[in-house]
Amino acid sequence: MKIETKCLHEGYEPKNGEPRVLPICQSTTFTYDSTEKIGELFDLTSNGFFYSRLANPTVDCVEKKIAALEGGVGALCTSSGQAASTLAILNILNTGDSFIATSTIYGGTINLFAVTFKRFGIECIFVDADASEEEILLKIKPNTKAIFGETIANPAIAVLDIEKFSRIAKRNEIPLIIDNTFATPVLCRPIEYGADIVIHSTSKYMDGHAVQVGGVIVDSGKFDWSNGKFPEFTEPDESYHGIVYTEHFGNAAYIAKARVQLMRDIGVTPSPLGVFLLNLGLETLAVRMKAHCENAEKVAEYLSKSDNVEYVNYPTLEGNKYFTLAKKYLPAGCSGVVSFAVKGGKQAAIKFMDSLQLASNVVHVADIRTCVLHPASSTHRQLTDEQLVAAGIDGGMIRLSVGLENVEDIIKDLQQAFDKV
């Protein structure tokens, strides 16, 4: 099936007489006829639902849909994108381990990796995503267990060379984790370029309407967890009566461990209602992403010609640093997110944003309504000056999330705001 069809039909196939639309199973628990059957569920020797912290029929259908969209063997929905990032790393790393991350990733993720994980004894080594393979290889230590990057960096709108990082990861026998939030599987499927694990903040384009907070982890099923570097997958888990994940779950060992071990113990569980709303967004994802990209390209062209603008970051623009990478990894478009700087620095940027009438000034991105945000004052406020520079952010930068309004109305709003600066 093509991606548009998968968005509508994957995950849930109603049988004769069943609801056409995915039902909401708003129940924490499930009834069984025997104690023995429940015991089998706890031993992982039988399939079924027994408590919605681990699995729920509504959530299960949407996990299957997202796995199909990304080309993975399984998925795990979480309560937020940050929860997805957290579990994706903790499922692999222990105290004393390190991992590589590109310096242009989302500010909240930088804080999670650089500050919170440090308290767990896990080191994050930040690298320039545009550095050569040789330079990045020098950063890898004997205890390095993973590499993390974003397909489209938030908010620098830099495009990651996924295949380059995949080669580095494979050379060191460690998994490559890609945050594909801005691209979505409609525009890019990182597993096809060598990614081993894909995550999303489903609160963004997948939802598309800003009505639920969530995240998801997708397992490609292609990484060899039995290569000797990851004993947690190949040695008995005493918390599950000595189960060995690679033996019991095969190529789905990673996503199974994330669910039965980390989701069990940490419990960052999404609500069935929230995931139902997510599914409604997924059904129109392919249609929306096409429109977002079309509008964003026109807005980026307009901004690039404005005398009020210092620079524009959008990969489809001729001369953009990531133009060639965008053609390779994002041939159908580069999302609806554009970043640019107003001449005059931070104060001019703030005055411009406060003068907008159609676009909303909100702490959000990637939904159907146009919105703006000043990263240095909000999502990346906690970063040091050095980290801001590494992330490609300055005081005049504005992140513009181009919505689905008529593009002429969006541009008209931008122009009237420029006229007031």
**Can you give the CATH number for the domain in which 213 is found?**
3.40.640.10
Is the CB of residue 389 less than 8 Å from the CB of residue 367? no
Q: How far are the Cα atoms of 28, 160, 165, 405 from residue 137, in angstroms, in the given order?
A: 46, 16, 10, 45
Residues 158 and 88 in one domain: yes
How much is the average pLDDT of 139-162? 97
* Statement: residue 28 has pLDDT above 90: yes
- Above 90 in pLDDT, residue 42? no
Whether 56 and 100 map to the same domain: the answer is yes
- Is residue 48 located within the same domain as residue 31? yes
How far CA 75 is from CA of 67, 209, 221, 381, in Å, comes to: 5, 22, 10, 32
Is the same domain home to 217 and 333? no
Name the percent of the chain lying above pLDDT 90. Answer: 90
Mean pLDDT of the chain: 95
Query: Are 236 and 187 within one domain?
Result: yes
Looking up residue 317, the CATH number of its domain turns out to be 3.90.1150.10
| Whether residues 64 and 189 fall in one domain | yes
User: Is residue 48 located within the same domain as residue 82?
Assistant: yes
Question: Average pLDDT in the 54-65 region?
Answer: 98
Q: Is 231 exposed, middle or buried (0-12, 13-18, 19+ CB in 10 A)?
A: exposed
Domain closes at, from 223, 258, 280:
280
Residue 396 has what pLDDT?
82
Predicted pLDDT at 378: 62
- Does residue 72 sit in the same domain as residue 87? yes
The count of structural domains within the chain is 2
Q: In the chain, what's the furthest Cα-to-Cα distance?
A: 73
**pLDDT score for 379:** 61
pLDDT at residue 241, as a whole number: 84
pLDDT value for 377: 72
pLDDT at 219: 99
Last residue of a domain, one of 280, 300, 327: 280
Q: Are residues 193 and 341 in the same domain?
A: no
Same structural domain, 362 and 329: yes
Is the pLDDT at 128 greater than 90? The verdict is yes
Give the global pTM. Answer: 0.96
Whether 34 and 167 map to the same domain: the answer is: yes
Identify the domain containing residue 233 by its residue range. 3-280
pLDDT tens-digit profile of 357-414?
999 999 999 999 999 998 877 666 666 667 766 667 777 889 999 999 999 999 999 9
Same domain, 309 and 261: no
Q: What is the mean pLDDT of residues 221-239?
A: 97
Is 388:126 a contact under the CB 8 Å cutoff? Answer: no
Question: Which residue bears the tokens 């965008």?
Answer: 326
Domain boundary among 280, 315, 336: 280
